[in-house]
Structure 1
Amino acid sequence: MTMYAALLRGINVGGSRKLPMAGLRALLEELGHGSVRTYLQSGQAVFAAGQGDEESLAADLTAAIEQRFGFPVDVIVRDHAYLRAVAEDCPFPAAGLEPRQLHVTYFSHPVDAARYAEIDRAARLPEEFRLGDRALYLYAPDGIGRSKLAEQLARRPAPPGLIATSRNWNTVLKLVELTAG
């Protein structure tokens, strides 16, 4: 059995697209997954699966959520090894930063650096971003709520089929821990 995290995009925010975590846990169990747990109310679940890959597991969960809850939700599924590698490969000194200063945006597919070529990185300092393996690391010293760079990154039009969802560093680390088995 492999441990996975499901990252749901845009649920339980601002009173819309409500998806109770108890319902998500029950749905994952009905799909045949074991060791199901959720983390916070913002759309993270971990589970064990004996078959399938990240894409098929995400597609199955996406379809089941829409059928059960009546609205579409973008889902990215990643295994423990990937989540651990994202944390270990952080290009910023994470141990010396406050968790609110560091965020990771997970992508459903690799993203070409050309997508961000027009951003004047020097003009956004001290904020910085770096691309990783299907991930973007954002250092925002004043937090993401005040980050002009985060706003600019979010405005980039997504290529068709690309799902992106961001998590703060505490959540990044917690998902590594929860999927460790």
Structure 2
Amino acid sequence: MQTWIALLRAVNVGGTGKLPMADLRALCERAGFTDVRTLIASGNVVLRSPGDERLVRSRLEAALLAYAGKPVGVLVRAPAELGRVLADNPFQDSPGNRVLAMFLDAPPPDDALDGLRHRTTERLALGTREIYIDYRDADTMRGSRLALPVGREGTTRNMNTIARLLAMADG
């Protein structure tokens, strides 16, 4: 059995995709996952499964489709990969709640930042299967209209949430 961290896309954000975390835990257990724990109400799940990343994702997506009646995007990472995301954060000089990793299914293309729109003071950097976004000041983060076309299928988590997920996975 391996520990996995699942990041659900567009769950309980901006009034869309309502999914109580108790329901998410029960759904994961019915799908055969064990030691299921959630963190905050935005679709973060730590679970155990004997399968690989692809199997965990497909089983969880199927269970979410049955529950919600529509597809829910899921990105799955091993704790070591999430630890690397945290360690490789190129914006260590900014507070953890203002630096986000946009998780993607695949490595971002070299031109991933070319279609960027509405950028103001945000700093961005490409990672392995993520894009780092630094909203250095709270006003920029609050009012940002930054649009990243490559990120339509991704989901973001800030560095503080990533650290908390890692602590859960270690526990």
Question: Does TM-score exceed 0.5, indicating one fold?
Answer: yes
Shift, 1:16, TM fit: 2.9
Percent identical among aligned pairs is 36
Equivalent of 2:143 in 142, 146, 170: 146
- Asked whether the 8 Å contact 1:17–1:71 carries over to 2, the reply is no
How far apart, CA to CA, are the structure 2 residues paired with 1:118 and 1:7? Answer: 25
Q: Normalization by structure 2: what TM-score? A: 0.88
- 1:75-104 CA distance string (max 9 Å, x none): 0111111111111111122xx432232111
Shift, 1:12, TM fit: 1.4
Structure 1 unaligned blocks of 5 or more: none
- Asked whether the 8 Å contact 1:79–1:179 carries over to 2, the reply is no
C-alpha RMSD over aligned residues: 2.0
The number of residue pairs the alignment matches comes to 168
Map 1:7-18 onto structure 2 (within 5 A).
7-18=7-18
How far apart, CA to CA, are the structure 2 residues paired with 1:117 and 1:19? Answer: 34
Shift, 1:23, TM fit: 1.0
Is 1:131–2:121 an aligned residue pair?
no
Is 1:81–2:80 an aligned residue pair?
yes
Equivalent of 2:106 in 109, 128, 137: 109
- Asked whether the 8 Å contact 2:3–2:46 carries over to 1, the reply is yes
Shift, 1:69, TM fit: 2.7
How far apart, CA to CA, are the structure 1 residues paired with 2:143 and 2:16? Answer: 23
Q: 1:152 aligns to what SS in structure 2?
A: coil
- Asked whether the 8 Å contact 2:108–2:150 carries over to 1, the reply is no
Q: What is aligned with 1:67?
A: 66
Q: Normalization by structure 1: what TM-score? A: 0.84
Shift, 1:6, TM fit: 0.8
Go from structure 1 to structure 2 and tell me whether the alpha carbon gap of 1:58 and 1:152 turns closer, same or farther (over 3 Å shift). same
Map 1:5-44 onto structure 2 (within 5 A).
5-44=5-44
How far apart, CA to CA, are the structure 2 residues paired with 1:13 and 1:80? Answer: 24
Shift, 1:30, TM fit: 1.5
Equivalent of 2:95 in 98, 110, 118: 98
How far apart, CA to CA, are the structure 1 residues paired with 2:143 and 2:14? Answer: 19
How far apart, CA to CA, are the structure 2 residues paired with 1:80 and 1:46? Answer: 9
How far apart, CA to CA, are the structure 2 residues paired with 1:41 and 1:118? Answer: 31
Q: What is aligned with 1:180?
A: 170
Q: What is aligned with 2:54?
A: 55
- Asked whether the 8 Å contact 2:108–2:127 carries over to 1, the reply is no
Structure showing the higher helix proportion among its residues: 1
